[in-house]
Structure 1
Amino acid sequence: MNKPPYDALLVLSFGGPEKPDDVIPFLENVLRGRNVPRERMLEVAEHYYHFGGKSPINDQNRELIDALTAELAASDISLPIYWGNRNWHPLLPDAIRQMYDDGHRSVLVFVTSIFSSYSGCRQYREDIQRALNELNMTEEMSLDKIRTFYNHPDFIETMAQRVRDAIAELPEEGAQQRKVLFTAHSIPSAMAATCAYEKQLHESARLICEAVGIDDWALVYQSRSGPPQQPWLEPDVCDVIQELADQKSTRQVVLVPVGFVSDHMEVIYDLDDEAAKLSEEVGIAMSRAKTAGTHPKFVGMIRKLVEERLGLATEKQAIGKFGASHDVCPIDCCKYEPRRPAPVPPTK
């Protein structure tokens, strides 16, 4: 029997504080080496304190790992799953060291980021290389990232079901004046020019709308964190809600955080808190679709992506205009040199 090309699976994520005392050290870790005023960091810290000082992201990663462990076992895929974060415990170098100590040398990596950009893809690959360099393991271990899945049919169907559920929460009255807003994290325009981020977001939103039967929709952005003089992707979700209210053309909005894998801090603060309050103030009924999270279709999709790299799948599934993404990123893929001072970090 041929030896499988990989002997472990790593779930790689952003990380987040687990308690109030973690918040400032976490943000200092995110900002290390960056010229961001402490006042701005403290402002971001208040987002965490608003929710008790704990980000939901770590618990959601634990839930995803539990679901994925069961999914792989049900398909007789014997890959132990490890977990590492970019910015908080369990940290990526510690996870790599643990995998090495456990005897693993060829690791497949699932990054909890859907779309191609510097911060969502390339930076994670740089993190991996940096950790291997620091551990002096560049010759001993290999870690390969799973491909981007924005147009995988199971991701599209997962989000289509999430949208249907969100629509069902709204009253029948006003349904004819409903707008669906797909939200994603804004990034600097200069970063967007180096990657397929916008194109992929538009394609995912289009495919989801096609599956649900939605005609009136738009792509908007949230969580901008850069200095005012630096152009970032627009329009902002709250600005659009205000415009819709001013135009008196919309009575309902459905917010779909298509750019996020799970309901972490940015989703619950920017959408469930800020956008929800604004919608109530301007008299627009709002419903927010859940993220993919641990939806069975989404967990099954990850298993299928693993099977692709293990050589167990006969085809790479993708729908829409652009086909399946590459397994190995080109050398200049999503290349971007962040400006200094760097943008304030996203809240996870």
Structure 2
Amino acid sequence: MSEFTVGTRGSALATTQTGHVAEALSGLTGQEHRTVLVKTEGDVTSGSLAQLGGTGVFAAALRVALLEGRCDLAVHSLKDLPTKQPEGLVVAAIPPRVDVRDALCARDGLFLAELPEGATVGTGSPRRAAQLRYARPDLQIVDIRGNVGTRLGRVKGSPDQADDGGVGRVAQGDLDAVVLAAAGLERLGLHAHITEYLDPADVLPAPGQGALAVECRPETARTGELAEALRELDDLPTRLAVTSERALLAQLEGGCAAPIGALARVEADQLLLDAVVAAPDGTDVIRRSASTRELTVGGADALGRELADLMLREGAADLAGL
């Protein structure tokens, strides 16, 4: 029986997401799969990264592995994938999206509105930080880094959480709450830590949040059983939604560090897109919506860019420091 290889980073979330996709593709093709651990440091030369146009180190390492033929496929969290697609690679499948929301993990089961004045909330996302400050200007937002287990361990009263990369621990219990993507917590079976799912009406997620991207070389997606399975795995409503969100992000010339949120959905015969651009300090936001009846990838892309242009005319670049 033939076999295909799937590249993955070593964190628990990355390997879990990769495993879900690989199992689905094995089920569709009847082929065995093998995961290939791709290190994010040491095995990627600066020259290779430069050729990929300055993408983030995690995406770049996987992309180099694909281009060098060390794996057939790579699975990314779409929200972390740069909007510029490198030459020689295609996003062959975007599986059905899961929960798009941000999740509050707070001490004592508290909701956002119940956190005491001056409570400390950890996040590594400028988008989350800006929207949290807008909703609750009294909060102290603390910049945090690390894998999911590390971040959960920062919450007061949280049981020790091993870092989900498999090594190390951090000082525990110095924050009142952290905010993470609900999708990642649910994929890791850590949903019990969630005290509140944040309503997108209050905190819009990152473009592409809750979705995965399966990337490969063009020939892999062109013909054969694996190519057919990738086409079957691809979910058109999800692809349309994230295409519009990421087109907006690209037109605003923002990256994952920009205070930009977007969420699209297909309802009946329309694609609806909501977007927010925030001042980093949370003092102001521009939030707008748009829709289209052109339910094609091209129509979705145009919707995102048109809404971004509207927001730029209204001062989004100056507001967010883009």
Per the normalisation by structure 1, the TM-score is 0.33
Structure 1 or 2: more helix by fraction: 1
Larger fraction in strand:
2
